Structure 1
Amino acid sequence: MPREKNMSRDNMSIPKKQAKKPSKPQKQKPKQPPKQQPTPSSSSSAAAVPSLPVPLQQRLLETFNAAFSPVLASPSFPALLQEVKAALYARDFDAAFANAAPDSLDAYAARWSPTRALGYAGVLLAVGEYLEEAHLVRDGAGSDDGAAAEPEAEEEPAHNKPETQAQAQKTIKMLSIGGGAAEIAAFGAYLSTHAPSLAGHIHLLDSAPWGPVVTKLQDALATAPPLSKYANAAARASNAALLPASHLTSTFTQRDVLSMSRDELGSALGNDVLLVTLLFTLNELYTSAGIGKTTAFLLKLSATVPSGSLLLVVDSPGSYSEAAVGKESKKYPMQWLLDHTLRKDEKPVEGCLWEKIESHDSVWFRLAEGLRYPISLENMRYQMHLYRATRP
């Protein structure tokens, strides 16, 4: 469910000058909400979250260019983008994703996933101290990959399994709910900043058929970029893949997470501590599927997630992430709904108690000057919340 909501709101090409920071949107307060404890931290400044080094940002853009060069160069590319945009603005997500042609999914990934990937990689760097804690990072590949076992689900096997265990690295596991191209690219970029000591496995779970898109991008991550025939010897000698194939493995499962039973979700999570992500996914679940179904999913997650795991939520900020409740369609902020479900009076829900360890209401990711990509890209503004699961 990787969505591009409010695409026109941040419609700025790769900038030569930094755009002025917009005024902070007014929050709509729910009527007499339950009393909440203060969050550990809150920021509206992009300075709170680091970015990848500019050369690595450029390298990641080159990876997207290599993975999706056929569709980027296709004469039908603008028409494909218009079809996707029209479906998104009509909120017809089946047409935009689940029932979309492969070329349309490639076009979406080539157009809107690069900025997301760069922004997500910065978020992973920002929470790196938690990801690198001993209880989350394990030797080798871990005891299981946490793949859902539902027989009718369309699941693709782990991609690019390690060729050898002789170079056993520390390994981190990630379950990306609603994940696709941006998530695997961001995870790969994050791992590359820790090479060769850290490897990773990512399980991407989404209702749309993103498997071929993920495979193209993962292959590009593990392949040295094409060089000009005029490249000098130094450029050829330094040309290398973003990270070795053995450092990043993946599994993709096509499944609607809201339709999964508690046991099926538990199987996807596995037994080892891991990072669970909902990146520009949770608000879409609230608004398209409803608060009841989304709350039920979060409670199943709380009941089955291994203790010590992290939950990372990134979504549109402020009034862009609100869900309507009741006959009067009273709107509640996504963050309030999430905290109300996970941390109700700070009493444990079934299974675990969620500790909020990072929270930022509004953060800007701005593209660095001088980045090159075949088409214009946009800056990104988001809210971010990080939770840790603990057993009472």
Structure 2
Amino acid sequence: MVKKQSAKKSHPPKPRPAPSKPADSPNPRINISFRSQQNLLDIFSSAFATVLSSGDFPNVLQEIKQALFNRDFAAAFGREDYLRAYAARWSPTRAICYASVFQGIRDHLTELEAPGYEVVAVDSDHVEPATADEKPSAPAGSSATASRTGTESNRTFRMLSIGGCAAEHAAFAQYLREAPQLSGRLTLIDSAPWSGVVTLLQDQLTTPPQISTFASEVAKASNSAFVKPSQLSVDFKQQDVLDLDLESLKHMIGKDPLVVTILFTLNELYTNGGLGKTTKFLGNLGQSLPNGSLLLVVDSPGSYSEATVGKEKKRYPMQWLLDHTLLSNKVSGIKWEKLESDESVWCRLSDELSYPMQLENMRYQVHLYRLEVQPPA
């Protein structure tokens, strides 16, 4: 549980677990350092400072909670002020959780990093940089050499987050921050209007924080953004993924392998879209992804993630439905392999972490799959 920053108004203290020491990682299940966790919280407290200090903030939170309790996701995520309040209240903990998950599966994710090219100009300063998908080119009349340096620098990593926004955005930036030579391309797709939050958070992540004009020259020189603007690109698409047909999904994904994340969203898809449409979407996803792509699913554990099926309204665990859909896949040439799975993981935050409001610990289940596309015989 996070220590709340001091405020003018006082409230009765809530019971908290015994404080933990600010070690390199207060919880062995959190795979990022204490400093990294606090940095993420600082990003959110700065980006949503106006929201957190608003007198109407508690009322807005209560309205969101009621909508979530009723599983009325359209109401909970249908307004801009709700989205900003949600991002300020619940996304910080999830960002730490997701960043920890990404770090924990980094060995699998690094296999998706595409090598790029570095251009070294010999007699021209106007060489066009190359993307990860193409070789560099020099303008006519210039002389330049291009060397492939994907092992050490200019590598690209792609992620498609389905039903995600602020927490995934910040966690992805944290993943890139751990590897300065790695650039990332993040696509966020959600039916809710998150574009304003995406813009706000992207600015916060890629702009150096303001410091006093009286700061020392050393402090000014060391002041830098969370990640470099050139290191993180993000694209938000407001779209219900269950309405995407196979060709639209293929166009969005592209030809290069990537990781697709469905974080605290799959249960929502089963609830709102139904078993049939969600199963069809997962099938289309398997037919759209390039060979070697990964699928990461994180959601609430146990009975919190169950879907009601059929007229008899039988309840099935989300994990069972997911495994049944992917691992029992009958489409020729497509095979899913389950790489990692945990039905219950705690993300316990140190009391030494600081945020303008109290944040709770969270528990989740996590499953990682790899797609193998077999060429036709």
TM over 0.5: yes
SS of equivalent to 2:35: helix
CA distance 1:128–1:211, change in 2 (3 Å): same
Tell me if 1:179 matches 2:164. yes
Quick one: which amino acid aligns to residue 243 of structure 1? Answer: V
1:350-369 alignment, distance < 5 Å: 350=332, 352-369=334-351
> How far, CA to CA, are the matches of 2:322 and 2:76 in structure 1?
27
Identity rate of aligned residues, in percent? 52
Q: What is residue 59 of structure 1 aligned with on the other side?
A: 39
Contact 1:359 1:386 in 2 (8 A): yes
> What residue is the counterpart of 2:125 in the other structure?
none
Of residues 17, 20, 24 in structure 1, which corresponds to 2:19? 17
CA distance in 2, matches of 1:377, 1:228: 29
Match of 2:354 in 1: 372
Contact 2:19 2:350 in 1 (8 A): no
Equivalence for 1:93:
73
User: Which residue number in structure 2 is paired with residue 217 of structure 1?
Assistant: 201
- 8 A Cα contact 1:307 1:391, kept in partner: yes
| Counterpart-to-counterpart distance in 2, 1:317 and 1:219 | 33
> What is the TM-score when the length of structure 1 is the normalising length?
0.78
Ranked by relative contact order (alpha carbons within 8 Å, sequence separation 6 or more), the top structure is 1
Q: CA deviation at 1:199?
A: 1.1
1:79-103 residue CA offsets vs partner (Å, 9 max, x unmatched) = 21122112222222222113x1x22
Which of 304, 307, 320 does residue 323 from structure 1 map onto?
A: 307
Shift in CA distance, 228/361, structure 1 to aligned 2, threshold 3 Å: farther
Number of corresponding residues: 326
**Mean CA deviation greater in 177-186 or 64-73:** 64-73
Structure showing greater Rg: 2
Q: Could you give the per-residue CA deviations for residues 245-265 of structure 1, whole angstroms, max 9, x where no partner exists? A: 111001000000001111111
Q: Deviations over 1:307-329 (max 9, x none)?
A: 11000000011121111222222
Q: 1:119 to 1:228 in 2, by over 3 A?
A: farther
Give the partner amino acid of 1:299.
G
Matched, 1:190 2:190: no
TM-score (norm 2): 0.81
Structure 2 residue aligned with 1:138: 115
| Cα offsets for 1:110-144 (capped at 9, x unmatched) | 011000000000000011001112x5433264449
User: SS of the residue aligned with 2:355?
Assistant: coil
Deviation at 1:234, TM superposition (A): 5.3
**Equivalent residues in 2 for 1:195-214 (5 A)?**
195=180, 197-214=181-198
Structure 2 portions without partners, runs of 5+:
1-13, 21-26, 117-129, 135-148
Paired residue secondary structure (1:323): strand
2:293 maps to which of 300, 303, 309: 309
Cα distance change, pair 206–14 in 1 and its aligned pair in 2 (3 A): farther
Q: Map residues 1-392 of structure 1 onto 2, 5 A cutoff.
A: 16-17=18-19, 47=28, 49-98=29-78, 100=79, 102-133=80-111, 135-139=112-116, 141-143=131-133, 169-195=154-180, 197-227=181-211, 235-344=219-328, 348-350=330-332, 352-392=334-374
**How much does 1:242 deviate?**
1.1
Q: CA deviation at 1:232?
A: 5.9
Q: State the alpha-carbon separation in 2 of the partners of residues 305 and 70 from structure 1.
A: 40
Task: Please state whether the residue corresponding to 1:354 is helix, strand or coil.
Answer: strand
Contact 1:62 1:225 in 2 (8 A): no
Aligned partners of 1:241, 1:275: CA distance in 2, in Å? 25
Code of the aligned partner of 1:214: V
Kept in 2: contact 1:283–1:322 (CA 8 A): yes
Q: Deviations over 1:136-178 (max 9, x none)?
A: 433264449xxxxxxxxxxxxxxxxxxxx9x961110000000
- The answer for the alignment partner of 2:138 in structure 1 is none
2 CA distance for matches of 1:67 and 1:141? 30
> RMSD of the alignment, in Å?
2.3
Whole-Å separation in 2 of the counterparts to 1:72 and 1:227:
21
Cα pair distance change 1:351/1:255, threshold 3 Å: farther
Classify 1:230/1:318 alpha carbon distance in 2 versus 1 (closer, same or farther; 3 Å): farther
CA contact (8 A) 1:14 1:377 kept: no
- The runs of at least 4 aligned residues of structure 1 exceeding 4 Å deviation read 12-16, 228-237
Residues 282 and 236 of structure 1, relative CA distance in 2, 3 Å threshold: same
Is contact 1:348-1:354 (8 Å) kept?
no
